[in-house]
Amino acid sequence: MKETYTRFRKGLMSTLEVPRDLALQESLLTVTGSSDLCIENYKSIQFYSQENIRILTRKGKICICGKSLRIQYYTSDEMGISGQFQEIVFEP
Amino acid sequence: MNRSREGFFVIDRIVRFWKGYVRIRIHSQETERFLNLCAKNGLLLYWIQESGNGCELDISLSDFFRLQPICRKTHTRIHIIQKKGMPFFFHRNRKRKALFVGIFLCFALLQFLSTRIWNIHVEGNYSYSTQAILQYLEEQDIRHGIAKKELSCAGISAGIREHFPEMIWVAARISGTRLLISVQENMDSFSQQEEASGPSDLIATKSGEIIRMVTRQGIPQARVGELCEKGQVLIRGLVDIFNDNGELVRQAQVPADGDVYIKTSYSYYKEFPLTYQKRVYTGKTKETIVLQIHSLELQAGLPGRSFAHFDRVGKFHTLKLTENFYLPVVFGKNTIHEYRIVRESYSEEEAKELAKAQILQFLDEIMEKGVEILENNVTIEITKDQCISKGTIYGLEKTGKSAPLSSVGQSTTERTAQE
């Protein structure tokens, strides 16, 4: 039943051409090169260190690993991260 | 998207600096909770960086005072590391009265200077130079530095149009501290020769033999082949009107007009010695830097006093603030080239070539005056120590200028218009 509802919702949003980040509350990541990242649609920071940042989203966690990671700005809607990224992992 | 975000950052940074912000270090067991609570409460955090057992971040001054409940909730201690921005700058320098007076004077000066014209730009002019137009404006007391409120653009346009009749359209406008003058000249204009409006004679301006003569209006008083003297009437502006019986009815006064070509002669004599002094440059040069303020001239460097003979080549620049606003400050450098004088003599061939070049130069000069060269009898003669060029050059040139009618003329019955 839940799968049917999810499929129906996805189909409806696709037909209406509503952006996925708004419709399905997906996180939006904009990566520039390997040193600049902008994230929208998240809940909170779960862990922060210079090598690892774990961000809690509605659909899971996003783990950013790298070196000299800094948060350029942090608001409830958007955050910018800079540093040398090595990997971005999406955890369920 | 990124570019707009960068633009936002620049503006945001300026606003943050203006409002003031602090860099703080937080010590907490729940750093992430502190950050999340700040975000949820609408506090904007910048440049969060891990540091030792805590975290450093920037926060605006107004948000800083809202941190207390969050700190209490998360058991966080805060240390201010740095205070940045205008409020702290003013607070730090509150005893420096001169600084604030200087800032105030700076803005006042900027405000004052913005009420004046600092650049006069002229465009669209071809036959009249920009300097000529600027000189006219200066005569009207419109110069660099004049107050904008004293200017009347319509008056300037009208004045320029009146002073320069060739300009068919002039527009003046003020843009910031610039006075922009756009002009349009009458490109189809031609120099109209002033025609004699009243009756007049045509008289010879030079003596010579008449070679060709075409009369358009008036009675010719000389014939082809005759010699005419300077000032002699060539075409008379008094025309006899006869009736069918050949009787003189009346005399009509007309402006005499026609083309009269006469053969004139030019005597040519030029000599120069065969020995001459030649400058041989030694290759030694010296440079001096020159600064001139009004009539005061300052020179740095070694002048060429140690050279017996030298040439001085100067390269100078006038300091200017804007396009046409020149300051009375000239700077540049003088380069002094040493030379020695060597006595040399022309060979016969060289002397003849030089003499020929001089003759050709003379011929060019008289041809520029509209003289057509008919005959060139100049001979080059080389004596023991001189080269002498002499002879006569015959040319064909147009003569004749309008003069008031002479009261007593030649009897009109002797020559008629048909002749």
**What is the total count of domains within chain B?**
4
pLDDT band at B248 (very low <50, low <70, confident <90, very high): confident
Same domain as B290, residue B379: no
Q: To the nearest whole angstrom, how far is the Cα of B77 from the nearest Cα of chain A?
A: 18
In 3D space, the residue among B291, B303, B300, B289 whose CA is nearest the CA of residue B336 turns out to be B303
ipTM score? 0.84
Closest CA to B331 of B345, B314, B346, B343: B314
B20-30 pLDDT, tens per residue? 999 999 998 88
What is the number of residues in chain A? 92
Per-residue pLDDT, B416? 45
Confidence category of residue B185, pLDDT binned at 50, 70, 90:
confident
**pLDDT tens per residue across span A32-58:** 998 999 999 899 999 999 999 999 998
Is pLDDT above 50 for B415? no
- Please name which of B292, B290, B318, B291 lies closest in space to residue B303, comparing C-alpha atoms: B290
Residue B330 lies in a domain: yes
Please list, in sequence order, all residues whose beta carbon lies within 8 angstroms of the beta carbon of residue B346, skipping any fewer than 6 positions away. B274, B275, B276, B354, B387
Pair B222, B338 in one domain: no
In a domain, B111, yes or no: no
Regarding whether B335 and B250 lie in a shared domain, the answer is no
**b/e sequence B43-75, b meaning 16+ C-beta within 10 Å:** bbbbbbbbeeebbbbbbbbebbeebeebeeebe
Whether the Cβ atoms of residue B114 and residue B107 lie closer than 8 Å to each other: no
Q: In a mutagenesis test of the A interface, which of B50, B60, B74 is the best target, namely the one with the most A β-carbons within 10 Å?
A: B50
Query: Is B59 part of any domain?
Result: yes
Do B409 and B310 share a structural domain? no
pLDDT at B326 over 50: yes
Any domain includes B154: yes
Residue B96 lies in a domain: no
User: In whole angstroms, what is the distance from residue B419 CA to residue B417 CA?
Assistant: 5
Average pLDDT over residues B64-76: 92
Residues B210 and B171 in one domain: no
Q: Is residue B110 part of a domain?
A: no
CA–CA dist B162, B214 (Å, integer): 40
| Band (B108; pLDDT cuts 50, 70, 90) | very high
Confidence of residue B315 (pLDDT cuts 50, 70, 90): very high
Q: What is the pLDDT of residue B409?
A: 46
Q: Between these two residues, B70 and B186, which has the higher pLDDT value?
A: B70
Distances (CA, A) of B297 to B45, B291, B300, B317, B328: 61, 6, 10, 14, 12
Parent domain of B181: 119-185
pLDDT over 90 percentage in chain B: 38
User: Considering only CB atoms, which chain B residues are within 8 Å of A49?
Assistant: 50
The domain boundary, picked from B160, B185, B210, lies at B185
Q: Is residue B60 in some structural domain?
A: yes
Pair B203, B250 in one domain: yes
Which of A48, A63, A79 to mutate to probe the B interface, most B CBs <10 Å?
A48
- On whether both B267 and B332 belong to a single domain, the answer is no
Is residue A89 predicted with pLDDT exceeding 80? yes
Annotated domain spans of chain A: 25-91
- Give, in words, the CATH class of A25-91: mainly beta
pLDDT at B327: 84
Q: What is residue B411's predicted lDDT score, i.e. its pLDDT?
A: 44
Q: What is the pLDDT of residue B3?
A: 45
Contacts 24+ apart (CB under 8 A), B251-256: B251/B412, B253/B198, B253/B199, B253/B405, B254/B199, B254/B217, B254/B218, B255/B195, B255/B196, B255/B197, B255/B198, B255/B199, B255/B200, B255/B217, B255/B218, B255/B402, B256/B200, B256/B201, B256/B202, B256/B217, B256/B218, B256/B402
Task: Tell whether the model's pLDDT for residue B129 goes beyond 50.
Answer: yes
Does B81 share its domain with B8? Answer: yes
Sort out which chain B residues have CB atoms less than 8 A from A48's CB and list them.
31-32, 35, 48, 50, 55
Q: Are both B377 and B395 inside the same structural domain? A: yes
Considering only CA atoms, give the Rg of chain B: 43
Closest CA to B45 of B19, B72, B16: B16
**B159 shares its domain with B212:** no
CATH of the domain at B144: 3.10.20.310
Residue in A32, A45, A73 closest to B46 by CB = A73
User: How distant is the Cα of A12 from the closest Cα of chain B, in angstroms?
Assistant: 28
The answer on B173 and B147 residing in a single domain is yes
Max Cα-Cα span within chain A? 46
**pLDDT > 70: percent of chain B:** 92
Task: Specify whether B365 is located in the same domain as B243.
Answer: yes
Instruction: For residue B417, name the pLDDT band (cuts at 50, 70, 90).
Output: very low
Interchain contact, A50 vs B32, CB within 8 Å:
no
Give the mean pLDDT of chain B: 86
B35 contacts on A by Cβ (under 8 Å): 45, 48, 71, 74
